Structure 1
Amino acid sequence: MSILLFLAVLFVLILVHEFGHFIAAKKSGMRVDEFAIGFPPRLFSRTKGETTYSINLLPIGGYVKIFGEDAVGTEHSPDEPRAFTAKPRWIQAVVLLAGVTMNVLLAWVLFIIIFTVGVQTAVTPETATDEARLMVTNVLPESPAADAGVAVGTEIVGVSSGEDTLTELSPESFTEFTAEHSDAAITVTYRTGDEEQTALLTSERGLLPEDEDRKILGVGLALIDTIPLPFLTAVKEGTVLTYTTLRDITVGLTRLIVDAVQLKADLSQVAGPIGIVGLVGEASAFGFTSLLMFTAFISLNLAVINILPFPALDGGRLLFVIIESVKGSAIKPQAVAIMNMVGFAILILLMIAVTVHDVLKVV
């Protein structure tokens, strides 16, 4: 299920990004030869007008093939005025920026929807409504909770030990109850989706490095409530969150690149395709709005990464356009093609490295 959700999220993000390039190119009078989701081999295609629409096998991106992007083969063509390189450089820049812009707009719209419908927020028992739920937010590996199958996103609906029953479900009361019954078996009733299950757990020592003598079940909990905002407030909060998220991603990525150059990068928080599959599953476990929130964050991450001035990325191609504007002449198409090819190869190698890192973390 997590894989299908991941593919669905990825499909939407690629579609939105490439549609930005596509519509900007079309509105600028450029000829678009192909609109593709994924990379070849091709699974399905349909030609409408002058454009072929394709679904490809490898879900690692997408592309919009614009006539004359590399300035090769445009000479003496009747469509030469419609070539990418035949347009003013500011129009070329607009087309290149359109994909990133669409990713930012998608995140902004999703944030507004989330705030309007109601964002899931950790609350206290004093501020919680009747709809608040006690949710599992973390499970320690090899803990009694993990061994019983309790997972992130699980809702705790009942806790008891012998004749004692926990009447107020909150993180604080749960911690107190399990501490008072640390030597006894504790019955935990939990719900995943529509399925309700019961597990008999006994607290264990040695799960917390900072307090190895403390006996716990190994779960982190939060009281989660859904709080909707008025539309105009949602727009304001969505705008602020879009800006702050973009800023934080940019700062974090910059630090990562600088540390990588200095050979001291911490990759423990970097996730590749396999890691993101797990994160999608965890986000969806908390509900549809959490999945939308995760999609918005990934969309903004893609926007920041794509605008990096690196060959094969939108930012690298934009850099070439800026250089051409400054020097007043075009860069040799062969040189651009080689740089983009090398850049693409490096990106593939990085993706493989991050994927291997994901696998090692799982193992």
Structure 2
Amino acid sequence: MFLTIIVFVLILGLLVFVHELGHFVMAKRAGIKVEEFGFGFPPRVFGIKRGETIYSINLLPLGGFVKIYGEDGLDKKDIQPADKGRAFGDKPIGTRAIVLVAGVTMNLVLAAFLLGVGHWVGLPTMIEDEDAVGASGAKVQIVQVAFGSPAEQAGIQMGDTVARLKAGDEEIEVEMVGEMQYFITAHEGEEITAVIHRGDEVLEKKMFARVNPPANEGSLGVALARTTIVSQPWYQAIYSGIADVFYMTYAIVIALGGLLWQLVSTGKSAIEGGGPVYIFNLTGQAAQLGLIYIIQLAAVLNINLAIINILPFPALDGGRLLFLGIEKIKGSPI
């Protein structure tokens, strides 16, 4: 639990800090006055003023913030002569838009960097059973666990690898996805014991193999894949990291659109989890599996944060961009 908390704080802090760093850098480059750039959230522990900006360390290490002069509007009588023309609202609409977009851009850049490092070090990659012969470190891995399934109830987690299966007097070493599927099918209606590896742990999980499972779930409610660790040369890893960001962004946007359409058309959502608690649980699983899974999770969360922040809702960067668009059409501030 302690390790999960530490990793959760580090990931969340990195995501928010990098996002705010993007706003800070572009505001400075645009000649906008930045009153404070802080690591963590108040109360302030320490602060030092360099030029016109206070650089602070704050008590809650969950990211950071940037205080841009005039971002929330100013009364003209409060503007000092030295600050004239240096407020956020004094800059052209295009400049303000660049400052707003800089946050999500930094999140996407960080995601590409993390995934590039992952490809260079070695990421788990799915392969077919016929390609697994002779593959170094190839194993059968749980890539999805259905909500409410026997596997979920037994405590099986995404990322677990299956070493052996037992049912009655029969036992097999699991080396291929196909043989595991065949074994489960042959023992429907029976209790199956799975010996799994989770990080450095070896666990036994008992599950009842359903005879008539829900559609697309299978008897145990798991999706399986044959995986092995594949590393790339650094120059190829850079390209793969960038390509992954484009692919993941597209996939997340499509999935989000589908969920919103389902919510509007049926009044129901298929989302099974979300929010800080869900992310905390995912962080715990990633921490158990190892550093490379933490890197992957941090990259995916960066992309999610970027997409959410660009949505045209109030208080988000996307909402402020929408107001800038209206201001452009209207020809005057809103």
What do the CA deviations read for 1:191-224 (whole angstroms, capped 9, x no partner)? 222233446x474445724599x9x566543322
Q: Which amino acid aligns with 1:21?
A: H
Which ranges in structure 2 are unaligned for 5 or more consecutive residues? none
Please name the residue that 2:231 is paired with.
228
1:53 and 2:56 correspond: yes
1:127 and 2:131 correspond: yes
1:170 and 2:176 correspond: yes
**Cα gap change, 1:255 to 1:198, in 2 (>3 Å):** closer
Distance in structure 2 (CA, Å) of the matches to 1:141 and 1:328: 51
1:4 and 2:15 correspond: no
Distance in structure 1 (CA, Å) of the matches to 2:88 and 2:99: 9
Distance in structure 2 (CA, Å) of the matches to 1:86 and 1:193: 54
Distance in structure 1 (CA, Å) of the matches to 2:91 and 2:111: 30
For 1:78, which of 79, 82, 93 is the aligned residue? Answer: 82
Residue correspondence of structure 1 range 127-276 to structure 2 within 5 A: 127-128=131-132, 129-139=135-145, 149-159=155-165, 165-167=171-173, 169-180=175-186, 188-198=194-204, 201=206, 203-205=208-210, 208-209=213-214, 220-257=223-260, 260=263, 264-268=267-271, 271-276=274-279
**Cα gap change, 1:328 to 1:75, in 2 (>3 Å):** farther
Which ranges in structure 1 are unaligned for 5 or more consecutive residues? 332-363
For 1:291, which of 289, 294, 302 is the aligned residue? Answer: 294
Q: Which amino acid aligns with 1:171?
A: V
What do the CA deviations read for 1:102-140 (whole angstroms, capped 9, x no partner)? 011111222222222222122233322131123233456
* TM-score of the superposed pair, with normalisation by structure 2: 0.80
Q: Which amino acid aligns with 1:31?
A: K
Secondary structure of the residue aligned to 1:82 is coil
Measured after TM superposition, the shift of residue 11 of structure 1 is: 0.8
Measured after TM superposition, the shift of residue 21 of structure 1 is: 0.6
Distance in structure 1 (CA, Å) of the matches to 2:262 and 2:187: 47
Distance in structure 2 (CA, Å) of the matches to 1:211 and 1:79: 62
- Native 8 Å contact 2:37 2:65 kept in 1: yes
For 1:307, which of 300, 305, 310 is the aligned residue? Answer: 310
Q: Which amino acid aligns with 2:86?
A: R
- Native 8 Å contact 1:25 1:32 kept in 2: yes
- Native 8 Å contact 2:192 2:209 kept in 1: no
Aligned length: 326
- Native 8 Å contact 1:107 1:299 kept in 2: yes
Distance in structure 2 (CA, Å) of the matches to 1:93 and 1:286: 40
1:30 and 2:18 correspond: no
Measured after TM superposition, the shift of residue 290 of structure 1 is: 2.8
Distance in structure 2 (CA, Å) of the matches to 1:115 and 1:21: 29
Please name the residue that 1:15 is paired with.
17
Secondary structure of the residue aligned to 1:196 is strand
What do the CA deviations read for 1:59-114 (whole angstroms, capped 9, x no partner)? 5x753111122133652342224322233332222211111110111112222222
Secondary structure of the residue aligned to 2:315 is coil
**Cα gap change, 1:52 to 1:301, in 2 (>3 Å):** same
Q: What is the root-mean-square deviation in Å for CA atoms of aligned residues? A: 3.5
Distance in structure 2 (CA, Å) of the matches to 1:269 and 1:147: 15
Distance in structure 1 (CA, Å) of the matches to 2:201 and 2:29: 51
- Native 8 Å contact 2:208 2:220 kept in 1: yes
Identity of matched residues, %: 36
Question: Quick check: 166-175 or 11-20, which moved more?
Answer: 166-175
Measured after TM superposition, the shift of residue 12 of structure 1 is: 0.8
Distance in structure 1 (CA, Å) of the matches to 2:94 and 2:215: 58
For 1:68, which of 58, 67, 70 is the aligned residue? Answer: 70
Please name the residue that 1:321 is paired with.
324
* TM-score of the superposed pair, with normalisation by structure 1: 0.74
Measured after TM superposition, the shift of residue 330 of structure 1 is: 3.0
- Native 8 Å contact 1:45 1:54 kept in 2: yes
